[in-house]
């Protein structure tokens, strides 16, 4: 029977699901049953019969009517679904689920009789925006901090410093102490996992160890032993150590310090590609200003998109959430692989399931952002100009190495995505109100 003989009706369901009710005529049900018998006859081996020549009555007796009907019904549902999609021009994005369950449908399936069943599948959602103009958004301003130039230069000095032994004085802040230590919890005297070392270089800078440890070492002399009381922070990574008091038996085995290079032109050449300290400072200043500008632009864009997402009306289908979660897990795996980790042994099925579940909120947020921008482009008829695409494509190609193997279509699509993002953000900037909010403290300045 042709697909046109099917009776098909559709009904929208929550979470961007579509229920497709299909009525299959009796002749088609009968044909599927007969085809199942022929197919099973070609595959079954029975003593005394050549393959494919088993009499119908014997085949039915050996296999049983239920197995034949189940085979016929599976094929019937699959073919009817494919024909219904084509007949009604449907675009499902997931495999269908049988609403009534297969066993229940099998009981009511009689070859030669009309059969009605309902399949549900995810479909692409139709995102809508309650409003596109006059949005109110907040962003965190990012200012260039001149003090960071000195901090970056100090870091470079430490990296290029010469480590020399210390003689004739006690340990001071900034020294490198070679320590042997053993830690125990004060409440029960048990040893701290990972809290001991025979010989370990420790920078005597605040924040390097748990509170109290560095302070206890400062003032010690080489060869001295000391008991130091400490306390693990409440936000310590290991649950069993959080907030607990501890005692460390410490021996200062050796003491070293860094001799910093002079801040002259020779240092500038060694620490960078610049010839003078003036050029080095200017280069660092420009980098920090550029970074602050990029971060502020990113904050402004995030604020605008957040305000736009608040206007979004969309049902996210489960298939898309699962796919986006899978993409996030794959990105994590790729990052681990780049660090030289054995991803195949590390990413067990249990870990993947946990990562999929944990990444779900981020996956949903990313989908909402994408749908919001897609809806904005459609609502305001924001399109790309072909000449702008070609111009940008030429610029990108100039930056690629001559031997780089790049798929032209994927490259063009990437360029189009970037240009569309720029146009959408520019449109939002023009048609929204952005308000600066108080900046949060930098992580490196938090106590």
Helix count (H) and strand count (E) of the chain? 14, 13
300 and 222 in a single domain? The answer is no
User: Binning pLDDT at 50, 70 and 90, where does residue 37 land?
Assistant: confident
284 and 426 in a single domain? The answer is yes
pLDDT given for residue 65 in this prediction: 78
215 and 320 in a single domain? The answer is no
Residue 301 inside a domain? The answer is yes
Residue 136 inside a domain? The answer is no
CA distance 390 to 382: 18
pLDDT given for residue 49 in this prediction: 65
50-59, 113-122, 310-319: least confident range: 50-59
Helix H or strand E encompassing 84: helix 65-88
pLDDT given for residue 40 in this prediction: 78
Report CA torsion sign: 405, 408, 409, 415.
positive
Closest to 440 measured CA to CA, from 295, 289, 307:
295
297 and 422 in a single domain? The answer is yes
CB 172 within 8 A of CB 258: no
Half-sphere exposure of 193 (CA within 13 A, CB side): 5
pLDDT given for residue 246 in this prediction: 95
28-42, 151-165, 173-187: least confident range: 28-42
423 and 283 in a single domain? The answer is yes
pLDDT in tens, 119-142: 999 999 999 999 999 999 999 999
Last residue of a domain, one of 199, 233, 259: 259
Mean pLDDT of the chain: 90
% of the chain beyond a pLDDT of 70: 93
pLDDT given for residue 48 in this prediction: 60
pLDDT given for residue 2 in this prediction: 44
DSSP states along 240-270: GGTT-EEEEEEEEEEEEEEEPPPSSHHHHHH
354 and 441 in a single domain? The answer is yes
Closest to 33 measured CA to CA, from 102, 118, 120, 106:
106
197 and 298 in a single domain? The answer is no
pLDDT given for residue 4 in this prediction: 45
pLDDT given for residue 52 in this prediction: 57
CATH number for the domain including 170? 3.10.50.40
Last residue of a domain, one of 212, 234, 259: 259
pLDDT given for residue 63 in this prediction: 72
pLDDT given for residue 1 in this prediction: 40
CA distance 305 to 167: 60
169 and 89 in a single domain? The answer is no
Residue 264 inside a domain? The answer is no
Closest to 119 measured CA to CA, from 20, 17, 16, 10:
20
User: Binning pLDDT at 50, 70 and 90, where does residue 446 land?
Assistant: very low
For the cut 90, the answer to whether the pLDDT of residue 53 exceeds it is no
pLDDT in tens, 209-252: 899 999 999 999 999 999 999 999 998 888 889 999 999 999 99
430 and 292 in a single domain? The answer is yes
pLDDT in tens, 383-396: 999 999 999 998 98
pLDDT given for residue 355 in this prediction: 93
Burial class (CB in 10 A: 0-12, 13-18, 19+), 394: exposed
pLDDT in tens, 248-278: 999 999 999 989 999 999 999 999 999 999 9
pLDDT in tens, 79-130: 999 999 999 999 999 999 998 889 989 999 999 899 999 999 999 999 999 9
440 or 103, which is more confident: 103
388 and 317 in a single domain? The answer is yes
Domain extent for 255: 162-259
249 and 292 in a single domain? The answer is no
Residue 293 inside a domain? The answer is yes
Residue 333 inside a domain? The answer is yes
Residue 253 inside a domain? The answer is yes
442 or 307, which is more confident: 307
Per DSSP (E only), the strands in 79-235 are 97-98, 115-122, 128-129, 135-140, 162-165, 176-185, 191-203, 225-231
User: For the chain, what is the domain count?
Assistant: 3
For the cut 50, the answer to whether the pLDDT of residue 445 exceeds it is no
CB 334 within 8 A of CB 344: no
Residue 103 inside a domain? The answer is yes
Average pLDDT, integer, range 317-326: 95
For the cut 70, the answer to whether the pLDDT of residue 43 exceeds it is no
Last residue of a domain, one of 75, 108, 124: 124
CATH number for the domain including 57? 3.30.70.1050
Residue 149 inside a domain? The answer is no
User: Binning pLDDT at 50, 70 and 90, where does residue 443 land?
Assistant: very low
pLDDT in tens, 198-207: 999 999 986 6
pLDDT given for residue 208 in this prediction: 73
pLDDT given for residue 38 in this prediction: 84
For the cut 60, the answer to whether the pLDDT of residue 18 exceeds it is yes
318 and 433 in a single domain? The answer is yes
User: Binning pLDDT at 50, 70 and 90, where does residue 444 land?
Assistant: very low
pLDDT given for residue 54 in this prediction: 65
């Amino acid at each position: 029977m042709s697909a046109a003989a099917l009776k098909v009706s559709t009904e929208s369901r929550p979470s961007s699901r579509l229920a497709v009710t299909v009525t299959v005529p009796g002749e088609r049900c009968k044909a599927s049953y007969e085809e199942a018998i022929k197919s099973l006859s070609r595959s079954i081996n029975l003593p005394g019969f050549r393959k494919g020549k088993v009499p119908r009555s014997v085949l039915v007796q050996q296999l049983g009517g239920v197995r034949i009907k189940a085979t016929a019904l599976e094929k019937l549902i699959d073919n009817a679904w494919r024909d219904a999609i084509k007949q009604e021009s449907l675009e499902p994005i997931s495999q269908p689920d049988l609403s009534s369950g297969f066993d229940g449908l099998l009981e009511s399936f009689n070859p030669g009789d009309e059969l009605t069943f309902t399949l549900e599948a995810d479909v692409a959602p139709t995102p809508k925006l309650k409003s596109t103009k006059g949005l109110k958004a907040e962003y965190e301003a990012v200012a260039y901090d001149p003090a960071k130039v000195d901090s970056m230069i100090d870091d470079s000095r430490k990296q290029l410093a010469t480590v020399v032994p210390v003689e004739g004085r006690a340990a001071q802040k900034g020294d490198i102490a070679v320590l042997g230590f053993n830690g125990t919890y004060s409440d029960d005297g048990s040893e701290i996992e990972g809290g001991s070392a025979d010989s370990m270089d420790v920078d005597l800078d605040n924040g390097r160890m748990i509170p109290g440890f560095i302070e206890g070492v400062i003032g010690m002399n080489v060869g001295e032993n000391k008991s130091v009381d400490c306390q693990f922070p409440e936000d310590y990574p290991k649950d069993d150590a959080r907030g607990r008091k501890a005692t460390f038996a410490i021996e200062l085995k050796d003491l070293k310090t860094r001799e910093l290079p002079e801040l002259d032109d020779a240092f500038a050449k060694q620490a960078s590609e610049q010839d003078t300290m003036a050029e080095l400072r200017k280069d660092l200043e420009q980098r920090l200003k550029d970074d602050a500008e990029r971060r502020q632009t990113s904050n402004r864009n995030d604020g605008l998109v957040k305000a736009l997402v608040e206007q979004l009306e969309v049902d996210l289908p489960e298939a898309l959430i699962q796919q986006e979660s899978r993409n996030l897990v794959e990105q994590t795996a790729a990052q681990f692989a780049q660090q030289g980790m054995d991803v195949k042994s590390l990413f067990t099925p249990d870990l993947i399931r946990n990562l999929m579940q944990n990444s779900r909120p981020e996956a949903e947020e990313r989908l909402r952002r994408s749908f919001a921008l897609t809806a904005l482009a459609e609502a305001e008829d924001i399109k790309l100009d072909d000449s702008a695409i070609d111009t940008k494509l030429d610029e990108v190609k100039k930056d690629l190495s001559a031997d780089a193997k790049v798929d032209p279509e994927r490259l063009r699509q990437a360029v189009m995505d970037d240009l569309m993002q720029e146009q959408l953000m520019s449109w939002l900037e023009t048609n929204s109100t952005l308000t600066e909010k108080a900046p949060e403290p930098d992580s490196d300045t938090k106590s």
